[in-house]
Structure 1
Amino acid sequence: MTNKDQQSSSLPQFPVLSTGVAPGVVFCCYPITNEPEVTVNSTWDDSNKSCTVLLECSSTSNRSVTYSWSVKNQTQSGTRLKVNIRPEDGETTVTCTISDHVSEKSASKPVNCSNITDSVPPDVEASTCPSSSSIIHKKVGDTVKLSSCLPTEGVTLATWKHRDTEVADKDLGVTTAFKDRFDLNRTDFSLTVNRLTLQDSGNFSFISDVNDKQRPTVVITLQVHEPITKEPDVTVNSTWDDSNKSCTVLVECRSTSDSVTYSWSVKNKTQSGSRLKVDIRPEDGETTVTCTISDHVSKKSASKPVKCSNNTDSVLPPGTCR
């Protein structure tokens, strides 16, 4: 929240007077207090190798407002926007602004384009002969294929264990308790686990003999995660520095998810951490700050538009018409 918003929220919400379009006509109304809501729907077009992004902006204001969009240094009016972007465009920020005669509010969304089939991590195969430190990260509902990457010739015993429980054997197949989700390939002895759950996390061990002589046990650690479902919450606090004629903006990002990594994107620069400090000037106009939270299998982003202004110039006394 900027100083302007903080000061405004601490004062009684007096109506603001504004001259109308007709001479001598004056409107009196309360300023807009809530940001608009922006929804995004992106579809991959394989023929053009691009994304068609449909955006819609809605407001909870109970009076007539005007909608406008800002994207790629272009503006457009209306509640809906259609834009085409490509993967090489990187992150594109779209901003919706609602306004009336006396006030305005904006909300931004970061949009990325990727081939949906490419953006879903493929099944991870232990095709590089995993060591004892091999870790595979997957999300709930995914499928994973576990391979020992050991030679199959002359194998007389091949058994998979999950933790201390035997789940599959080359002669007996998959244990009854796991048949609905586990599959054993009896040619290469790879184990496929479908519809992963959090309980599937842990060590999978492949125990095998060649000509009745035991080989080293292969251990693969599987970690199954709940994907991030909620965008982070971004709060803004801006302070005017009269000596430098600029604003010091303190931004904080919070998430309801556990064990996530925070990163910021502002002015084509990135920075890690849950907090960010940035200096902007009035002549910079609207600056968008974006916080991204991520884990091993998913990520979510949220953006805030920030403007710098001298508070003494930006706050109108109650009942004043400028």
Structure 2
Amino acid sequence: MGSMTDAPNRQNGPALSREEMERAYREMLLVRRFEEKAGQLYGMGLIGGFCHLYIGQEAVVAGIGLAMKKGDRSITSYRDHGQMLVAGMTARGVMAELTGRSGGYSHGKGGSMHMFSKEQEFYGGHGIVGAQVAIGTGLALTSAYKNDGAVSIVYFGEGASNQGQVYESFNLAALHKLPCLYVIENNRYGMGTSIERSSASKDLSKNAAPWGIPSRKVDGMDVAAVYQAAKEAMEHCRSGKGPFLLEMETYRYRGHSMSDPAKYRQRSEVDEMRRTRDPIETLKAEMIKHGIDESFFKTVEQDVKATVKDAAEFAETSPEPDASELWTDVLVGE
């Protein structure tokens, strides 16, 4: 299995500004602590169904979030809580939906994989592997039709990258020069199968080449590298040049979902990634190097802890949906 210690683009481009580093650190820590709490609530039986945690991959969404502008749209798969929080959805609303409570974004009826926020231009996590790629391409078509200057950011995993609808989407986006940023979050394992055993393509960043879509492979554990690559790619999309593909080389610390014991990989592999490549600790070390005092990190930790605690308490004390909710949000044909 290839090492990520020498992943490309790690040192390319300027460092983040102090403001950008602080924002990225806050967002990554919020996602990490929120996911840890979600894992605890799942273990307590307060979250039912599926629950896919984002722990380890925080630099991808935080870096792309720094490059996004108001009006940009995003969509992803079932590993979606990080994208929701960075998009501006409240920790309360997301946690309440996870626990099936009426205060959730889908009124407690959708759970982890069916949450949306039109206000924050987040169009869902989707349970059907690869389905969000076609939908996200449709969001980019909306931008092109309205000429609103927005970019559609479409996240999908390496496991979904071989789905037929992905390539159909590439074709449509390239044909109509749609402002669509495709982001492959390559965390090495699709459910329980390593990328080496599941993909004949050994460089996923080249998968859109037949359609003339430019691409780049990025160190997805380095938030600064992610930001630089996303910023350049989104400028390409906004300028009318069409879609762009980024392959983010990242890593998930937990199993595919909460029900996955992850026995298909060595514990030492996970420990090594945590020790040497953790995106939050890497950014913290860089921030200290640039003179940011330890008090900042303590304050952020306290603030994030309070936010997550409040979200969990809100979720646990919110009522379950009323029985009448069975008849709302249902499409009926005549």
TM-score range with shorter-chain normalisation?
Answer: under 0.3
Kindly indicate which of the two structures has a greater share of residues assigned to helix: 2
Kindly indicate which of the two structures has a greater share of residues assigned to strand: 1
TM-score (norm 2): 0.21
Q: Taking CA–CA contacts closer than 8 Å with sequence separation of 6 or more, which of the two structures ends up with the larger relative contact order?
A: 2
